[in-house]
Structure 1
Amino acid sequence: MKHTYIVTGMSCDGCRTKVEKTLNTIEGIEANVTLNPPEAIIQMEKHLPTSQLQEVLAKAGNYTIEMAHSEAKKTEEPQAKSCCNTSNHSHYQNHQNLKPELRSKLVGKYYCPMFCEGDKVYDKAGDCPVCGMDLVTIEANPNDENKSYTDLLKKMKIALLFTVPIFIIAMSDMIPHNPLMHLLDMESWNWVQFMLSLPVVFYAAWMFFERAWKSIISWNLNMFTLIGIGAGVAFLFSVFGLLFPHFFPAEFKTEMGTVHLYFEATTVILTLVLLGQLLEARAHSRTSGAIKELLKLAPTEAILVENGIEKVIAIDAIKKGDILRVKPGDKIPVDGKITEGESSIDESMITGEPIPLDKKKRDAVVAGTINGNKSFLMLAEKVGAETLLSQIVKMVNYASRSRAPIQKLADRISKYFVPIVVAVAVITFLVWAKFGPEENALIYGFINAVAVLIIACPCALGLATPMSVMVGVGKGAQLGVLIKSAEALENMNRVNVLITDKTGTLTEGKPSVEKIQVFNGQEDEVIQAVAAVNQYSEHPLAQAIVHFAKAKNIALVAAENFEAITGKGVMGIVDGKEVFLGNKKLLEDSKVAISSTIEEQVITEQKKGKTVSYIVIDKTVIGFVVITDALKATSINAVQELMQAGVEVAMLTGDNQNTAQAVAETLHLSSFQAGCLPEDKLKVIQKLQAEGKIVAMAGDGINDAPALAQSDVGIAMGTGTDVAIESAKITLVKGDLQGIVKAKKLSEAVMRNIHQNLFFAFLYNVIGIPVAAGVLYPVLGILLSPMIAALAMSFSSVSVITNALRLRNLEL
């Protein structure tokens, strides 16, 4: 058996490793622990109580372990002390969807948008100690203006205000007759440059030096390491040269006796990097536009109907079971069903379909969609974080900050890249100092070393994957393809086998009873008995039978000892008689014989693609129910497109051989398997994975959940059960296989975009570092100043961002 647990107290990969090793010391279990999300997936030979796991884990450190989705977890603020950091922080899960009282406790906290340390949050603003990104605040209102972008814009304006005059002063030598020299001498202008540089270095761009220092002491080397070293060396050299010019040899001085200073290089470099950060923040804001638009769909108030009296209440006050009035033109407040009235509803924001859908009594309605020109009453069934709209926001937020496996490559490269670049910069300085021009050899060495540090900044490398993932996930949300993680987005590109369920996936999932054939007994009495048992089941086939009975005005009676047997059928006691309704496996398990006459008729119906359930009363087969479930109009085209793309499409269904074969032949599937129980589907997927296949599983029922979780990419129909959606990594809002085609194409486009971004990032470095080091100088006389190097570095980041944003215009 396999269980998923939430682990709190982990703040780094060292913690994760310690927790995993500790859990694996327990006999009979195999644990796999992840930091983001902070989970432990444990395979057990026999069930162990959580208290036993906690007892062992407590000996390793201040860690706690709980079953996932426990009610206690939802109602208490999760907190833990870090074993690696003395900062005051706590941990949280999915802050966008917390209960209002818990969310209010976390408002004002800060977290890393890339979640390098899992779900750790901080009390104060600052930078992520791992990647150096700005910590983002948990806002009281998600629609508030992006504070990070506003702060960066303010700093950018200040940096420009002081950098432009410094640049003009430094470049004045290139102006004929240098008019500035008529006002002050060079030494005085150097002091002016120094004073103007202070606001840039110690305010507008100080965060870059803080990030660089943190990256060095924690040895989480990143792009800010190079920025801090390069700009810091240039600034300190200039300050020292200004204060103590007599320490420098003649080759470091100008004709006027002043030392060559680089305040302009320092400030221009920092301003250009700040511009890159500003563009990144702006791009991040734009890529989350789809989420913000979805959030705007949610109304703030609703009309509650109690005892015939209507009153306006806040959305947060709605409870499950409340009756709500939706007036013409209003947004539907929560998910539920119409209990009185009818209307046409615009669901284009959720499904992408422009034509309003007619809804009547018992039809489902979704939060955020817009009512037409009629009023109706609805029953609130899902509120708060449970609504489809909230789930969309939750999944998109999670996926946009998750890390694709390909990101690990970029991370590994960055880890080794920084020390290599520093070594190249040192070698550059030494070579120029030794073999450079006799005059100013040290200056050449210094300038070229700084240029190497600046142009090698791996900003573009760090942006290559996250930017494409964020834009791709946002695009998917607009298309009704909800992607939970970057890993799922990447794996979808590699999928070569699609396993699909039948009912509700290939078919409409809205079966109807074509006929009930009774061989022994009164037809109405048999229908009443069968409907009595099925009224307690939520299975679509069961509901179809109940509706059939109601349509015939047959009253429902109570049934006792109801039992649903997954993948086989239902049973119960009605008026003292034992009633079964199910497939052949249920009859075999119950040792019920089937006459050849009945079986021949059943096979005839099954060959037509119909689903047939046997009716058994007191161990005797007295008839059968014929149920039809039409194929979705899009299933045939979707299957053909996937197979043309090299994906094998196989169907695993709990239905019988004949019905399954009829559907498989109609859709021209690669293969199919009938009579599958949940564990059968799971085993088929495990077998395919053992053969090296990358398997996607599409399903919509509770019985599909294990297979969805086991597959490389689980794909749930948005029209299916909550369990299936929770187990899957991709959810199709429309519950339509055409969404899989879109997901496949989107994945291919995103991965292609990531590879392009990585190419851009490496291209700049491969070309730029040697040029900055001066390899072209002996032949072509070409050198890069630190300012030009900074411009090239920023341009590489802009190239990556611009390329990623192209995904927003992708046509699928």
Structure 2
Amino acid sequence: MHPQIVRDAPGFCPICGMALEPRTAAAEDQPNEALIEMQRRFVVSAILTAPVVVLGMLSVSQAILPALLQLLLATPVVVWGGWPFFERGWSSIVTRNLNMFTLIAMGTGTAYIYSIIATFIGLPVYFEAAAVITTLVLLGQVLELRARERTSGAIRALLRLTPRTARVLMHGSEHDMSIESIKPGMRIRVRPGERIAIDGVVVEGSGVIDESMITGEPIPVEKQKGDKVTAGTVNTTGSFIVQAERVGAETLLAQIVRMVAEAQRSRAPIQRLADVVSAWFVPIVIAVALATFVAWMLVGPQPRLPHALVNAVAVLIIACPCALGLATPMSVMVATGKGATAGILIKNAEALELFAKVDTLVLDKTGTLTEGKPKVIAVEGEENVLAMAAAVERASEHPLAAAIIAAAEERGMAIGKATDVRTIPGKGVIGRVDGHRVEVGRFGETAGVVVTIDGHAAGRIAVADAIKPTAPDALRALQAKGISIMMITGDARSTAESVAKQLGIDRVKAEVLPAEKEAAVRRLQEEGHLVAMAGDGINDAPALARAEVGIAMGTGTDVAIESADVTLVKGDLRGIVRARNL
């Protein structure tokens, strides 16, 4: 499909003949009329084609009865089942954009019309070829439309991230209002556990926001008066009031949706090369068929007209890309089968083919190179620091709390029972454990906590997003194959550069937004590189859709998985090496 072709209703591209992609998607799942219609045509055609093939093999003599039965069975297949291909073929001739549907329409149409005439004059018939070609191409179209349906699921998942209503403060009272009715300047209350509906600025209160969908950073960010918040992010703790600045189609989340849709509609350089090949291939095939007809008319055996028609039709049928309808599903089945045993799910055969030619791999950091969740990496201070901190953190919903508790349990520590626990938004948590007053407080921008027991600093617990154990080996193997590695992340520059240094990555772009990730991939493509992008988050979706090969971590978000061509089930980067070797 060519993205420059825009229509106000579903249809097909007049240049390549493929179904048009919707420019926008609805949050609700809606029936795909094009897919339903193509499936109906395929099922009916397959049922009718089977006996045509049997009759074609049994009709060793040119008896008129089997030929008439073939005509009766093949007519609905070619005329009704193949009608979309005749429409596209005719459109390609009218617009002078010859494509594979030109050959399909000419091949099946000529074979069908010739066979009708041949039925009544006792010549060999080609109803079987016309019906089989039509059915195989219908199968290919069904598979393509199903693949597109899966990719559009990524856009629907993104749209569902925005709540449909928000709690608006007006005239001294609060009430729920639909997102469509909210205007910039309105004040909205965000309660614990709620997803934020608009882009805005905090004007009252405080909270801890999970912004991983935008930045990829796994550790939530504390927000206070004057801080900006983004639609689609989640308020984990605290309550605050936001003044709306951007709503609806103007939010950052809406921009991500548009970027994913535009990237899915775009055409890779290799697809443009296919257009050029088709523009030459189709006229050459037609010319060869005409030359064949003329040659048989001039020097062929008698009767010359039937022989000339049969051989000209044979050229069109042989050149007709009927194999595409079978080769595509077969290649996907084989690749999927081999890949699945290695923990690699492959969405389409084209991605597998391009994978071997990729020369640049762009990697997200959080969840791709790292585990994607906070983990205790060091404990400094008194022996009981970790156990005491875990006791009071049990009452907290902060992700750092979960990491501290998990670390204490892994070490087999006895975690006491905390009483009088109070959470202070933006500060930390306070409680009493075994008669001691314990305070666990966040410090600065560093991921970690300071533990105070009975008023004195007892120790410090450092928390970080640990590098995946398999990442170093995977990157060394890819670099040995001549692939250039680049890290692009929304995380802080200091954190990104620290991880890159440990993994031997020289090219790093940090503190970037989703749009900048997608733009970076596009720039690499414009420089002539074949790019693979690996990521796991919502913020990676536009870049995954833009890259020639998008690689999602199976441990990541559904949006990333649906935007990508390849999924590594366990999130193991060594799967990229294995996928290139399939």
What TM bracket, shorter-length normalisation? 0.5 to 0.7
The letter for the 2-side match of 1:626 is A
1:692 & 1:700 partners in 2: Cα distance?
25
Deviates more, 1:221-230 or 1:641-650: 221-230
**TM-fit CA distance, 1:718:** 1.5
Q: 1:38 aligns with which of 12, 15, 22?
A: 22
**TM-fit CA distance, 1:494:** 3.8
Matched, 1:270 2:105: no
The residue number in structure 1 matching 2:339 is 476
The 3-state SS of whatever aligns with 2:376 is strand
**TM-fit CA distance, 1:640:** 1.9
**TM-fit CA distance, 1:648:** 1.8
Judged with a 3 Å threshold, the aligned counterparts in structure 2 of structure 1 residues 736 and 198 are, in CA distance, closer, same or farther, namely same
The residue number in structure 2 matching 1:505 is 368
Larger relative contact order (C-alpha < 8 A, sep ≥ 6)?
A: 2
The residue number in structure 2 matching 1:370 is none
The residue number in structure 1 matching 2:423 is 559
The 3-state SS of whatever aligns with 2:320 is coil
The letter for the 1-side match of 2:12 is C
The 3-state SS of whatever aligns with 1:626 is strand
The 3-state SS of whatever aligns with 2:482 is coil
The residue number in structure 2 matching 1:715 is 551
1:705 & 1:452 partners in 2: Cα distance?
44
| Deviations 1:678-714 (CA, angstroms, capped at 9, x unpaired) | 7876676566456444443333456655654565544
The letter for the 2-side match of 1:739 is G
1:481 & 1:654 partners in 2: Cα distance?
26
The residue number in structure 1 matching 2:263 is none
2:579 & 2:111 partners in 1: Cα distance?
43
The residue number in structure 1 matching 2:61 is 165
Judged with a 3 Å threshold, the aligned counterparts in structure 2 of structure 1 residues 487 and 633 are, in CA distance, closer, same or farther, namely same
Is the 1:403–1:466 Cα contact (8 Å) retained in structure 2?
no
The residue number in structure 2 matching 1:725 is 561
TM-score by length of 2: 0.56
Judged with a 3 Å threshold, the aligned counterparts in structure 2 of structure 1 residues 702 and 579 are, in CA distance, closer, same or farther, namely farther
Deviates more, 1:657-666 or 1:690-699: 657-666
Judged with a 3 Å threshold, the aligned counterparts in structure 2 of structure 1 residues 516 and 683 are, in CA distance, closer, same or farther, namely farther
Is the 1:403–1:485 Cα contact (8 Å) retained in structure 2?
no
Gaps of 5+ in 2: 1-6, 91-100, 143-265, 432-437
1:493 & 1:669 partners in 2: Cα distance?
21
Judged with a 3 Å threshold, the aligned counterparts in structure 2 of structure 1 residues 616 and 502 are, in CA distance, closer, same or farther, namely farther
Judged with a 3 Å threshold, the aligned counterparts in structure 2 of structure 1 residues 499 and 581 are, in CA distance, closer, same or farther, namely farther
1:665 & 1:467 partners in 2: Cα distance?
43
1:544 & 1:530 partners in 2: Cα distance?
13
The 3-state SS of whatever aligns with 2:60 is helix
**TM-fit CA distance, 1:580:** 5.8
2:38 & 2:324 partners in 1: Cα distance?
30
The residue number in structure 2 matching 1:236 is 117
The residue number in structure 2 matching 1:225 is 106
The residue number in structure 2 matching 1:10 is 10
**TM-fit CA distance, 1:406:** 5.3
Judged with a 3 Å threshold, the aligned counterparts in structure 2 of structure 1 residues 157 and 403 are, in CA distance, closer, same or farther, namely farther
Matched, 1:156 2:53: yes
Judged with a 3 Å threshold, the aligned counterparts in structure 2 of structure 1 residues 659 and 624 are, in CA distance, closer, same or farther, namely farther
User: How do 1:274-673 residues align onto structure 2 when only pairs under 5 Å count?
Assistant: 421-422=285-286, 424-426=288-290, 428-430=292-294, 433=297, 435-436=298-299, 442=305, 445-460=308-323, 467-485=330-348, 488-502=351-365, 504-508=367-371, 512-517=375-380, 523=385, 527=389, 531=393, 535-538=396-399, 542-548=401-407, 551-555=413-417, 557-561=421-425, 581=442, 586=445, 613=448, 615=450, 624-627=460-463, 631-652=467-488, 664=500, 667-672=503-508
The letter for the 2-side match of 1:270 is F
Judged with a 3 Å threshold, the aligned counterparts in structure 2 of structure 1 residues 483 and 573 are, in CA distance, closer, same or farther, namely same
Is the 1:717–1:732 Cα contact (8 Å) retained in structure 2?
yes
1:622 & 1:681 partners in 2: Cα distance?
42
Q: 2:533 aligns with which of 675, 697, 705?
A: 697
Judged with a 3 Å threshold, the aligned counterparts in structure 2 of structure 1 residues 558 and 684 are, in CA distance, closer, same or farther, namely farther
Is the 2:363–2:369 Cα contact (8 Å) retained in structure 1?
yes
Is the 2:448–2:460 Cα contact (8 Å) retained in structure 1?
yes
Matched, 1:198 2:68: yes
1:226 & 1:159 partners in 2: Cα distance?
18
**TM-fit CA distance, 1:741:** 1.2
The 3-state SS of whatever aligns with 1:649 is strand
2:492 & 2:402 partners in 1: Cα distance?
20
Judged with a 3 Å threshold, the aligned counterparts in structure 2 of structure 1 residues 273 and 679 are, in CA distance, closer, same or farther, namely closer
1:703 & 1:724 partners in 2: Cα distance?
8
2:515 & 2:459 partners in 1: Cα distance?
29
1:683 & 1:430 partners in 2: Cα distance?
54
The 3-state SS of whatever aligns with 2:102 is coil
Is the 1:493–1:744 Cα contact (8 Å) retained in structure 2?
yes
**TM-fit CA distance, 1:516:** 3.6
Judged with a 3 Å threshold, the aligned counterparts in structure 2 of structure 1 residues 735 and 542 are, in CA distance, closer, same or farther, namely farther
1:709 & 1:206 partners in 2: Cα distance?
39
**TM-fit CA distance, 1:737:** 0.6
Is the 2:451–2:457 Cα contact (8 Å) retained in structure 1?
yes
2:311 & 2:543 partners in 1: Cα distance?
58
1:217 & 1:677 partners in 2: Cα distance?
44
The letter for the 2-side match of 1:165 is S
2:85 & 2:509 partners in 1: Cα distance?
55
Judged with a 3 Å threshold, the aligned counterparts in structure 2 of structure 1 residues 731 and 516 are, in CA distance, closer, same or farther, namely same
Is the 1:158–1:204 Cα contact (8 Å) retained in structure 2?
no
Judged with a 3 Å threshold, the aligned counterparts in structure 2 of structure 1 residues 37 and 412 are, in CA distance, closer, same or farther, namely same
Is the 1:512–1:629 Cα contact (8 Å) retained in structure 2?
yes
**TM-fit CA distance, 1:659:** 7.2
Is the 2:378–2:463 Cα contact (8 Å) retained in structure 1?
yes
**TM-fit CA distance, 1:524:** 7.5
The residue number in structure 2 matching 1:738 is 574
The residue number in structure 2 matching 1:180 is none
Is the 1:530–1:581 Cα contact (8 Å) retained in structure 2?
no
The letter for the 1-side match of 2:361 is L
Judged with a 3 Å threshold, the aligned counterparts in structure 2 of structure 1 residues 574 and 495 are, in CA distance, closer, same or farther, namely farther
Is the 2:490–2:510 Cα contact (8 Å) retained in structure 1?
yes
1:731 & 1:223 partners in 2: Cα distance?
34
Judged with a 3 Å threshold, the aligned counterparts in structure 2 of structure 1 residues 633 and 530 are, in CA distance, closer, same or farther, namely same
| Deviations 1:440-465 (CA, angstroms, capped at 9, x unpaired) | 55565445444444444332366555
The 3-state SS of whatever aligns with 1:698 is strand
The letter for the 2-side match of 1:458 is P
Question: CA-atom RMSD, angstroms?
Answer: 5.3
Is the 1:654–1:677 Cα contact (8 Å) retained in structure 2?
yes
The residue number in structure 2 matching 1:603 is none
2:117 & 2:496 partners in 1: Cα distance?
76
The residue number in structure 2 matching 1:207 is 77
Is the 1:215–1:225 Cα contact (8 Å) retained in structure 2?
no
2:508 & 2:460 partners in 1: Cα distance?
25
The letter for the 2-side match of 1:121 is I
The 3-state SS of whatever aligns with 2:555 is coil
TM-score by length of 1: 0.42
Is the 1:714–1:730 Cα contact (8 Å) retained in structure 2?
yes
